[in-house]
Amino acid sequence: MEYLIHIAIIISIYSILSLGLNLILGYTGQLSLTHAAFFGIGAYAIAIGETKFHLNFFLALLIGIVVAGLLAIIIGIFLGRFRRDIYALASLGTNVILFSIFLNWTNLTRGPLGIPGIRRPEIFGFIFQSNFSFLLLCAFFSYLTYTILHRLLKTPFGLTLKAIREDEDVLSSFGYKVKTIKTTAFVISAIFTAIAGRLLASYITFIDPSTFDFNESIYFLSVVIIGGLADLRGSILGTIILVILPEALRFLGLPSDLAANLRQILYGLALIMMILFRPQGFLGKYKM
């Protein structure tokens, strides 16, 4: 039972991230490779806030949202100058820079040693110590993320994002401030990604830079593409598929190093098959 709860927690956390990423990748059409860094920003905000400044989880969460939002504004303005392939390359470079900060700013992040001793969330004296209670917390944040984004996409802002995906030049000709809208979408996406990182750090109670490198950004993209571009339900479906798929390897009795390599091969094969036969993903409405 504990194993199933663990899987459900991971699905809930990564669903928040994939929902946020789908906003910028699926709806706005911007191929962002920097979300692993914002995943890390959220995790380090909680880890540093709790271990160094002894902040409550929810206070550290709020501070982390502000920090992630401000940083996302700066990065979003920078990336908003580019399109398509150049946008992807610029976002990749941004991820590399932030990963290097996680790895080398040892006075703050402890570098490759990581930060242990992260506490579970506490509210009004209740500690989410058991995995079941933590699952309820993660499920709540996942549901809240889905609800907020679902309602947001029904507004004129959401319709504008889809128009940017189709042809941002036409939208600009009608007087829309496309760069501002793209930056706003990027900030919203980054904030939800950071929230997912905070939950992961509190769950595993330890973080190090290896969790937030470029490979993780590729994994996040795979989740969204396989589940379906521009469909929030697809983000959740993609998360379920790519979390459960490699778990089957645990029951084959393979050595851990071999199982890790096979897991990457499975991700790659799944992504290639989807691009070849259903490039919009299982539930998606657009193609890459």
Express each pLDDT in 46-69 by its tens digit: 899 888 888 888 888 888 889 899
The overall average pLDDT reported for the chain is 89
Identity of the residue numbered 188: I
pLDDT value of position 257: 65
Express each pLDDT in 156-210 by its tens digit: 999 999 998 888 888 888 888 988 999 999 999 999 999 999 999 999 999 999 8
Four-residue CA torsion sign, 252, 254, 260, 264: negative
Express each pLDDT in 210-228 by its tens digit: 888 878 888 898 899 999 9
User: Could you tell me the pLDDT band of residue 272, with boundaries at 50, 70 and 90?
Assistant: confident
Among 243, 220, 267, 205, smallest CA distance to 19 is for 220
> Is it the case that residue 117 has pLDDT exceeding 80?
yes
User: Could you tell me the pLDDT band of residue 288, with boundaries at 50, 70 and 90?
Assistant: low
Spans of all domains in the chain: 2-208
